[in-house]
Chain A
Amino acid sequence: MSSALGTVYRDGETIVRQGEMGDCMYVVQAGQVEVVQSAEHGEQHLAFLKAGDFFGEMAVFEHELRSATVRSVGESRALKVDKKTLLRRIGEDPLLAVNLLQTMSHRIRDLNAELSHHREIHL
């Protein structure tokens, strides 16, 4: 019997894979996941996400391939949110998008901070 929602992922198990087409986003329910991106010089760590964080939202708003791979760190649990369900609800209640925009805005802020940090190092 399980009283938990979503799917349980084992340590190291891939939840989404870079380059694949996606039709949903995920919300971490428990545990931790790691976001990594394949680059020319190997794999680059982008972020760790914990319970309450979401990922894969770019596939909901753009018809593009997944831009990163997300793997479970230890055992984790994540819930899928279907593109159709989400976009339909945003159509009825545009304020729902504000919640997603806030997180995406935080990510842009973090990226800007990281970019300026790299520039400082190279100057």
Chain B
Amino acid sequence: MRLSAQPSVADSLSSFSTDEKAGFTLTDGSRIAVVGGGPAGSFFAYFLLKMARSIDLDIAVDIFEPRSFSRCGPAGCNHCGGVISESLVQILAAEGINLPQQVVQRGIESYVVHMDVGSVAIQSTAGEQRIAALYRGNGPREGGDAPWESFDGYLQGMATGLGAQVVRKLITGVDWREGFPWLISPDGAATRYDLVTVASGVNSNFIKLLGRLPEPLFPPDTTRAYVCEYRSSEREISRILGDAVHVFLLTIPRLEFAAIIPKGQFVTVVMVGDDLDQKLVTEFLLDPVVRACFPTDATPCVCSCSPLLNLGARSRPYADRIVLIGDSGVTRLYKDGIGAALRTGKAAASTAIFHGVSKAAFARHFWPACRRIEQDNAIGKVMFGTTAIFKRFRFLRRIMYRMARREQELPSRRPHMSSLLWNMFTGSAPYTDICRDALHPGFAGNMIMQAAAGLLPSGAGRKGVEGP
């Protein structure tokens, strides 16, 4: 009888020995391909080479990434809002990955939640800037004069620093011959690999090619987001937005949530919702609540995209000698995709080095990391569903606003609502933790008190200025 869900040492050793007999282990001279050189691919390559070095294993890693992250605009970008959560900044630091000043466009120390009933600023309890607003590529179109560095380029540099080779080629095919995956480039050349790690995200065509393999792998379900960059002056951005990410919970149909993120001389607008189209974008930008906190000197949108977001894997993200990481496989719902890239990339790397590259090895040692994320996402869907209900009813929005505002005014109080909003929108805590906090009796008690205060005659139990 096994008491723990974790595989025992005996199980691990026996699976490693079986993989070794079948040739499913990495040995000196093994070749590993990473398709996609974004954070997931770079984290995987970095940890794989670091772990290989620690056991004197000599392997070769090719990262296939046709884009150069030193280019401005979509050609060098990975289409994302570009916020690194508080918990991820800390974990990266503990891993020895410290984000240099040139990569961080702005250190964020608070989130401002805007609703039609009022706006409330929620401060980081750490009292320091531990959230990073950055650019995945080299910034938006027309941003060539800014002295910044790409986050994705920085991570890729860490992987190449350990010996990974970046191949600036698009992979147009994948084949399976004699038990090994082969990657095919546009000139028809095919190369055999011992392991292919797919980190191409959901916005690339490569992931669709995996459906043709003998053991097909399918792309995840997706939805579309909208990301747009506006140029403004640093002074105006500081005046209007400060060192805060501004989140909008508005009653605009089809809009789940939106955020404005300050970065150097630009602001990034990110929107998530159903069937996002130009009409919805315009409606959001013209909303009085949004206009009140939008830089007055902002130029029209200089760079925009509608990237796909992973909403959940349709198949297990691995097979013999193939593993899908980051957005290509399992990622966190709406938030902290880079945190998920770190987790799945590192789990895949440690599995490949210490346990083998067979489907069984990935099932036993890689899948638990993905399953934890998937289970947390299920709770996340419930939490976002609950937020949608709050958004729909004005009296609930008022309660939410009053609770958060009062907690921020009286820091000695336990910040139930502030923590919930902070963790929901920063992506810093697992959704399971957020749900547990929301089920705390104090949370319900506080809500009831605020609901009662809202029923009192005007002036009694109220403080500060609320929206219309």
CB neighbours (8 Å) of B372 from chain A are 92
Q: Which residues of chain A from 8 to 63 have a CB within 8 Å of any chain B CB?
A: 25, 27, 29-30, 51-52, 54
Closest chain-B Cβ to A9's Cβ sits at a distance in Å of 11
26 residue pairs bridging A and B, Cβ less than 8 Å apart: A1-B237, A2-B106, A2-B107, A3-B104, A3-B106, A3-B264, A4-B104, A4-B129, A5-B104, A5-B128, A6-B107, A6-B129, A7-B127, A7-B129, A27-B93, A29-B98, A30-B101, A81-B93, A82-B90, A85-B90, A85-B91, A89-B87, A92-B343, A93-B343, A93-B369, A96-B91
Closest chain-A Cβ to B221's Cβ sits at a distance in Å of 25
Count A-B contacts at CB 8 Å.
88
- In angstroms, Cα B346 to Cα A93, docked, is 9
- In angstroms, Cα B98 to Cα A52, docked, is 7
The size of the chain B interface, using a CB distance under 8 A, is 34
Closest chain-A Cβ to B336's Cβ sits at a distance in Å of 13
A5 touches B243 (CB 8 A): no
Q: A5-B132, A7-B128, A85-B87 given. 10 additional CB < 8 A pairs?
A: A1-B234, A2-B107, A2-B243, A5-B89, A6-B129, A7-B129, A29-B98, A80-B90, A86-B94, A95-B350
Does B95 touch A at the CB level, under 8 Å?
yes
CB neighbours (8 Å) of B95 from chain A are 96, 99
Main SS of the interface on chain A? mixed
CB neighbours (8 Å) of B90 from chain A are 79-82, 85-86
Q: Which residues of chain A from 79 to 123 have a CB within 8 Å of any chain B CB?
A: 79-82, 85-86, 89, 92-93, 95-96, 98-100
Residues of chain A whose beta carbon lies under 8 Å from any beta carbon of chain B: 1-7, 25, 27, 29-30, 51-52, 54, 79-82, 85-86, 89, 92-93, 95-96, 98-100
Does B410 touch A at the CB level, under 8 Å?
no
Give the top 9 A-B pairs by smallest Cβ distance, nearest first: A27-B93, A7-B128, A81-B90, A3-B104, A2-B107, A4-B101, A5-B107, A1-B238, A85-B90
Does B347 touch A at the CB level, under 8 Å?
yes
* Known contacts A92-B369, A92-B372, A95-B346: A5-B94 contact under CB 8 Å: no
CB neighbours (8 Å) of A29 from chain B are 93, 98
CB neighbours (8 Å) of B350 from chain A are 95
- In angstroms, Cα B102 to Cα A30, docked, is 13
Of A4, A30, A86, chain B has the most CB atoms within 10 Å of the CB of: A4
Q: Considering only CB atoms, which chain B residue lies closest to A52 in the complex?
A: B98
Contact with B98, one of A51, A80, A96 (Cβ below 8 angstroms): A51
Closest chain-B Cβ to A82's Cβ sits at a distance in Å of 7
Q: Considering only CB atoms, which chain A residue lies closest to B90 in the complex?
A: A81
CB neighbours (8 Å) of B234 from chain A are 1
Does B358 touch A at the CB level, under 8 Å?
no
Does B253 touch A at the CB level, under 8 Å?
no
Q: Considering only CB atoms, which chain B residue lies closest to A3 in the complex?
A: B104
Does B406 touch A at the CB level, under 8 Å?
no
A81 touches B94 (CB 8 A): yes
Closest chain-A Cβ to B426's Cβ sits at a distance in Å of 13
* Known contacts A5-B99, A95-B350: A82-B126 contact under CB 8 Å: yes
Q: Considering only CB atoms, which chain A residue lies closest to B86 in the complex?
A: A85
Contact with B129, one of A5, A95, A99 (Cβ below 8 angstroms): A5
CB neighbours (8 Å) of A1 from chain B are 106, 234, 237-238, 243
- In angstroms, Cα B238 to Cα A89, docked, is 34
Closest chain-A Cβ to B236's Cβ sits at a distance in Å of 11
B98 touches A27 (CB 8 A): yes
- In angstroms, Cα B98 to Cα A99, docked, is 14
Q: Which residues of chain B from 368 to 409 have a CB within 8 Å of any chain A CB?
A: 369, 372
CB neighbours (8 Å) of B156 from chain A are none
CB neighbours (8 Å) of B130 from chain A are 5-6, 79-80
